[in-house]
Amino acid sequence: MISDLALEEWNSQVLLLGQALIGAISPNFRMVSLDLDGETWLIKFYLEKELEEDIEEIEEIISQYSAWQDCNLKCRWETIVGEQRLPNYPEVGRMVYRRRENLAA
């Protein structure tokens, strides 16, 4: 069972990442997730295509997210490009953003 402190930290990190995403999401973003890998927060960005402007935007998102943290934050991110099936909740930790997609393909 997750302790109240752990739940509070999770909620805080989701909120901070959500704030960093405001105005940054383009139609190319499929999903953004947040997970805890040991002591390191892992942010995954799922893009449909590898567009330079979105890669630059991801760097800005990480910069903004990191700016709101204390100096002890351990964070890394991954960018996954393609039209593969998106993972579901248990596979990714928490989904912070997910666009609607046609599943009938």
Comparing 91 with 85, which gets the higher pLDDT? 85
Dump pLDDT digits (tens) for 67-76: 988 778 899 9
Residue 37 buriedness (CB in 10 A; 0-12 / 13-18 / 19+)? exposed
Rounded Cα distance between 79 and 56, Å, is 12
Residue 89's pLDDT is 74
Annotate the chain with three-state secondary structure.
CCCHHHHHHHHHHHHHHHHHHCCCCCCCEEEEEEEEECCEEEEEEEECCCCHHHHHHHHHHHHHHHHCCCCCCCEEEEEEECCCCCCCHHHHCEEEEECCCCCCC
Dump pLDDT digits (tens) for 14-57: 999 999 999 999 999 999 999 999 889 999 999 999 999 999 99
Q: State both tokens at 48.
A: 């449909």
Q: How confident is the model at residue 88 (pLDDT cuts 50, 70, 90)?
A: confident
Q: How confident is the model at residue 1 (pLDDT cuts 50, 70, 90)?
A: very low
Residues 6+ positions from 9 with CB-CB distance below 8 Å: none
Q: Which domains does the chain have, with CATH numbers?
A: 4-98 (3.30.70.1770)
